[in-house]
Amino acid sequence: MGEEVQFIRQELIKMDSNAVVELKNKARQNDSGKHRYCFHENENAEMQEMLFVLPHEWYTRPHKHEHAAESQVVIEGEGYFILFDEWGNVSETFKISPQNNFIYRIQKGLWHMVLPISEQMVIYEIRAGKFDHTTTVFAEWAPKENDQAGIKRYMEELIEILGGME
């Protein structure tokens, strides 16, 4: 799964503030600025439980999960959760942080993305289904991850819609 993903294989998994600091430090060591602790047994487990770090203004291409809802809990940091309609128009946004909408659940089939605005965000996620990128459908109306110029324009548009960022 690469340097960004680490499976925690213990009978009892406990995470405290020291574990979060370690996770954030591992993320800083990766070129992407991301790192993920997986609590499920392996990539084929039917339930995914993950604690992960996203860096400031990380671009996650808008996507949907056609076969599973997902729940997320913001442990640290802040950002925006953005929902889109089928054509890529922003339909709803809300701030996420430990103080604002720290837990949210999204039904399957809804286009969405997280836009971190703090240096790092730490999020706990639970989702049914395998840890497999084929279960995620990426929006054709949004720039691909390798389109740096397109991403820059797209992020500027989203930030304008959000009313600017701190």
Domains and CATH numbers, the chain: 5-161 (2.60.120.10)
Distance separating alpha carbons of residues 82 and 161, to the nearest angstrom: 10
Distance separating alpha carbons of residues 46 and 48, to the nearest angstrom: 7
Distance separating alpha carbons of residues 113 and 90, to the nearest angstrom: 11
Structure tokens, 71: 């729940």
Instruction: pLDDT tens for the chain, 166 residues: list them.
Output: 468 989 998 899 999 999 999 999 999 999 999 999 999 988 888 889 999 999 998 999 999 998 889 999 999 999 999 999 999 999 999 999 999 999 999 999 999 999 999 999 999 999 987 766 677 899 999 999 999 999 999 999 999 998 855 4
pTM strictly above 0.85: yes
Count CB-CB contacts under 10 A for residue 6. Answer: 14
